[in-house]
Structures are given as C-alpha cells and as structure tokens.
A and B are shown apart, each in its own frame.
Chain A
Amino acid sequence: MRPLDGLLSGDRPGGLVLSLLLLAVLLGLAFAPFLFPGTRPLGVAARICIFIVLAASYDVMLGYTGIASFAHTMFFGMGAYGVAIALSKLWAGWDAVLLGTAAGVALAALVAILIGLLSLRVRAIFFSMITLAVASFALILATELRDLTGGEDGLTFSVPRLLTPEFRLAAEPVLGARLDGRLVTYYLIFVLSLALFLLMLRVVNSPFGRVLQAIRENEFRAEALGYRTVAYRTLAGALSAAMAALAGAMMALLLRYNGPAATLSFDLMVDILLMVVIGGMGTLYGPVLGAVVLVMAEYYLQPAMAAVSGGLKGWPVLPALFDPDRWLLWLGVLFVLIVYFFPAGIVGKLREGRR
C-alpha cells in the first residue's frame, strides 16, 4: 500500500465507511460520462470537481490555518476572469488559456499576500471584515469595468476547438457517451482537480502544513517555537488563493462564460463555507463530501421534491410542503440536521475515535 500512502501523502481517510464513500465519489467522477450520460449530469460532475478544489482550498485557510476569509470567491473570480478576458480579448487558443490562467493565479496570490501582510496581525474578526470589504470592492470593480469584464452581463467567449461540442473524437457514442469536446473538457477538469487536490493534500501533510495546524491551535505557542506566524499564514493564504483561481479558470472553461453572478457572488461564498463545514473542517476530505452533497442538492433536490410531491397527491398539506419551489427550505433543514448530528462535519464524525 506504499504507493497509495505516497499518493495521499500518508493521510489516509481513516475508517472503512469514509474510505468507501470517497472511493465511490472518485469512481463516480472518473466514470461519470459513462455512468450518467447526458449534458446535465456531465455539467454537475464537472461542477463537483471544481467545487472540490475550491472548497478544499478554502479549507486550507479556514480548517488548517484558522483564518475566516470572505474573499475566496474573489480569488475564484480572478482565475475565471483571467481566462475569460484572455479568450474574449485575445484569441481562442491554448496559449491564451495558459496566459489568462497564469495572470489570474498570479493576481490572486499577489492580492492574498497583500491582504495577509496588511491585515493578518489584526484580530480574526477584523481580518474577516477586511476580506469582506475587499471582496465587495472586487465585485463592484468587475461590474463597473464594463470594457474589460463585460459588466453585469459578463463575458461569453470561444474556447480552443478541442473543448467545443463540435469537436468529435469518434462519430459514434461509446457506452452511451458522446466522445466530443464536452467530454474532453470534463476529463481536463477531472484530471486537473484530482492533481490539485493531491497537491493540497501534500501541502497540508508537509512540515509547512503541520506549522499551520499549530498556528491554528495556538499562535503564541507556535511563535515561542520560533515560527513567524504572519509569514506562514500569508503563504497559506497565497496558496489557497492560487488554488481558488485555478478552480475559477476551470469554471470559465466549463461555462464558456464568466460574470459576477457566476464566480463572484456572496451566495457562492456561503456555498463554499457550507461545503467545508458540512464535510468537516481541517480534513481536506471533508470538502470533497461537502461539495458532492451541496452540488447534488442544488441540482437534484427540486426534481426529487417534485417526484415526492406528485406521489403524495391527494394527501392534505404534504404535497404543498414538498412543492419544488420550497427546495431552499428543505436544503436549510438538511443543513440543520447535518450540523446537529455531525458537529465536526461528516468526515469528523466518521473519523471519531480514530486518534
């Protein structure tokens, strides 16, 4: 099992149930185009991959370092706008994709470093407020700089031909899946997401990650051991921001569109926070399950409720209670139940007693 330990940086999920759940997610995503053919399921699977990276990168900040930032969607947006601007203003080539991604990642890391150096010395609540203010400013900026960002309408752009639905690897479907540019886009996102997740797993299980956890537990004790906590937290913030920007770049390629609502909204920030909290903070495996639960709920809770409501036709009150328009109510109930029964998140609960 040594190669597996090497791949997971010695941080196995722990526990049979959790391992099986994560294996099911991995296999489900790896074979999603063939297991669940169709454009919508493929889009949902791709979003799960992207949100795994986004939520895991937020967990590096919140779960491993103890920093509550509300600027994570801003970094996500920077990556997405990097690709969107490059592809819409330059040309629809791979070099433009790389250039836009690199610019978005570099900008995100730079802004994270600046925020960190300027504000990580203040108390946690003030840091959170500063990140909220900066994120709001970025949202306004993206809306106002119409020439560059397309304003509230956003930017629609072409992607390299390999990623377009018109591109065909084979004329006939294989196992029900069309071998076209959407499939290539999906597997590009899947492989990149897997690689980025394993990279983050490597980072949090390195000596650097150990110091971050020590800082999260007690900043003064870590300083008394000789660690410059502001430097470590700033670096963690930059890494987390860069990962979020990469997730944003993938989202732009998937949607072939980017706008404020797609990557910069505060609703998205709440989603990320919920994914981390529901899955389990400080575990990295937690955001994987959190992303799956939340994205699936957003896409399939309404149809499921419509089916339940239809099935209960003729009963008093119940069909109205399960009306698809009330899906947010049930999503809220689901969150309350998860937080009540799994206060340490799903992974925290499943790992209970491991140490």
Chain B
Amino acid sequence: MSDGAALLRLAGIHTHIGRYHILHGVDLAVRRGRLTMLLGRNGAGKTTTLRTIMGLWRRSAGEIDFDGRPIGDLETPDIARLGIAYVPETMGIFAQLTVRENLLLATGPQGFDEAQLEAVLALFPALREKWHNAAGSLSGGQKQMLAISRAIIEPRRLLIVDEPTKGLAPAVIQLLIDAFLRLKQSATTILLVEQNFHVARSVGDDVAVMDDGRIVHTGAMADLAADETLQRHLLGLSLASHQ
C-alpha cells in the first residue's frame, strides 16, 4: 500500500502505558478519501494506536504526521481542532446532556449547519425522535449513532472510529454499515477499528492488521477478504465464520 497520498502517517510509534510497552514501532498510512480498516486480535494495540494519534496517550518514540504536519507533540484539543474526529470504543457520548446538546458540542459557536444536520439525521433517523432525550437514556445502537453523528456534524478531515459495532444487534450493525458506505461516498477519510470481519469486508478500502503492538500486514481490504488462509494466519479466523 503506497502512502504517497497519506493524510495520516505513523512511523515507528512506540507507546508505553505505565511500565507496559504496548506499541512496538507502529507504521501506518491512512490514505485520503479512503476507509482504512485497522484489524487485529484483542490486545493487539488497536485502541492504543488510536488514542496515541489523538494524544490521549503520549508516544514514547516515533513520528505522527497529519497532512504533512507533525502532530505527535500537540495536545489533544489541538489535534481535534485540525479536523480529526474521534469516536472512542465506549461511544463517547455525554449521558446527562440531550441528543441535541451532544451534537451542539461538536459545532462551532454558530450552531448547526441546517443542511449538514439534515444529512446526519437522514443517516440516523432514530436520533430525530430522541432529540430532546438525555443521551444516557438511548439504546446502545442509538448511542453509537449519536457518537458517530457528533463526529460528522461538522466537516472533518479525518474520522477515527473505534469498534462501533461492538455489542450491537445485527440490524443496527447493518444501519452502521450503510452509514459508513454513505460517508465513503462523500470522500471522507476514515480510520476504523473493527472486530467484526463482515463489517470490515463491507466497508473497508484498505486494511492494516496489528499483532503484538506492530502492523503485520497492509494491503487492500478486498484482497484480505478473498484470502481465507491469510485471514487465518493474521487474525486466527475465517471469513466464513463471520458472515
């Protein structure tokens, strides 16, 4: 996978959390306008990679460039202000605020862009019905929809999403797949961590597979989806078992 058109580039990233050495030299390129899947077994270092990109955990070595600019030393709010939206694994909603207030947090002082708001609510119509409800009262799927909506309510240059389908019902997962496919049509650059291979195969353009804090494979998602042997080798699974 050539990284010539990379919007985000990680080179030799090491991250320590306390005395634990989690990332052991991660090299990753996220290409513009593409949806890059970050796959790997539990504990491979996927979430740590995303949190390191966002500055929530500081890297101990290596370089992180966003659009050619080093961001490894920036504070999290400064990284977010570059146009990077992050949806954490825990959904990242503010439970005591309403759906409307959660979305307003991600807009500028001018409030909602009506056209953008309509586009987001068209992706997730359930949120319209819960507009004035506390986010904490939403179902798991609705919370995830809200978290993703908040990330895209303003134009973002890069959307980073951590395991959005975890623990959700199949019908909701399909909704999220449809949403990501529509986001891809708008040429949004997305880095998506996912355990569900069906989701990964449905939406991914590029793929990077992690193991033990390193990237062990990069390439086209379609190639990995077509190669069961490689899947077993890299992920310890076969596509057939995750249809």
A residues lining the B interface (CB < 8 Å): 207, 210-211, 213-214, 217-218, 220-229, 282, 355
Contacts and interface: CB of A to CB of B under 8 A. Distances in A.
A355 B81 contact: no
A226 B107 CA distance: 10
B96 A224 contact: no
B98 interface: yes
Interface string B163-193: 0000000000000000000000000000000
A242 to B, nearest CB: 23
B80 A214 contact: no
B56 A217 contact: no
B202 interface: no
A222 B105 CA distance: 9
Contacts of A207: 104, 109
Contacts of B196: none
Given A220-B76, A223-B80, A355 B95 contact: no
Given A210-B97, A213-B94, A227 B77 contact: yes
Given A210-B101, A224-B80, A226-B77, A217 B92 contact: no
Nearest to A220: B56
B134 to A, nearest CB: 4
Contacts of A355: 98, 132-134, 137
B54 interface: yes
Main secondary structure of the interface of A (DSSP, over half): helix
A12 to B, nearest CB: 13
A210 B105 contact: yes
B106 interface: yes
A226 B54 CA distance: 10
A161 to B, nearest CB: 46
Nearest to B133: A355
A222 B98 CA distance: 15
A214 B76 contact: no
B88 interface: yes
B30 to A, nearest CB: 17
B105 A225 contact: yes
Given A213-B97, A355-B98, A355-B137, A224 B109 contact: no
Interface string B212-225: 00000000000000
Interface in B42-94: 54, 56, 75-77, 80-81, 86, 88, 92, 94
Interface in B81-140: 81, 86, 88, 92, 94-98, 101, 104-106, 109, 132-134, 137
Nearest to B81: A226
B54 to A, nearest CB: 6
Nearest to A228: B77
Contacts of A214: 94, 97, 105
B112 to A, nearest CB: 12
A224 B92 contact: yes
Q: For the complex of A and B, list the 7 residue pairs with the smallest distance between their C-beta atoms, beginning with the closest.
A: A226-B80, A355-B134, A223-B76, A226-B81, A217-B94, A224-B86, A221-B92
A226 B132 CA distance: 24
A217 B96 contact: yes
Contacts of A224: 54, 56, 76, 80, 86, 88, 92
B72 to A, nearest CB: 16
B9 to A, nearest CB: 20
Nearest to B106: A225
Contacts of A222: 105
Nearest to A355: B134
A223 B97 contact: no
Contact of A221 (B88, B134, B137): B88
B50 to A, nearest CB: 10
24 contacts: A210-B101, A213-B94, A213-B97, A213-B101, A214-B105, A217-B96, A217-B97, A218-B92, A221-B92, A221-B94, A222-B105, A223-B56, A223-B76, A223-B77, A223-B80, A224-B88, A224-B92, A225-B105, A225-B106, A225-B150, A226-B77, A226-B80, A226-B81, A355-B134
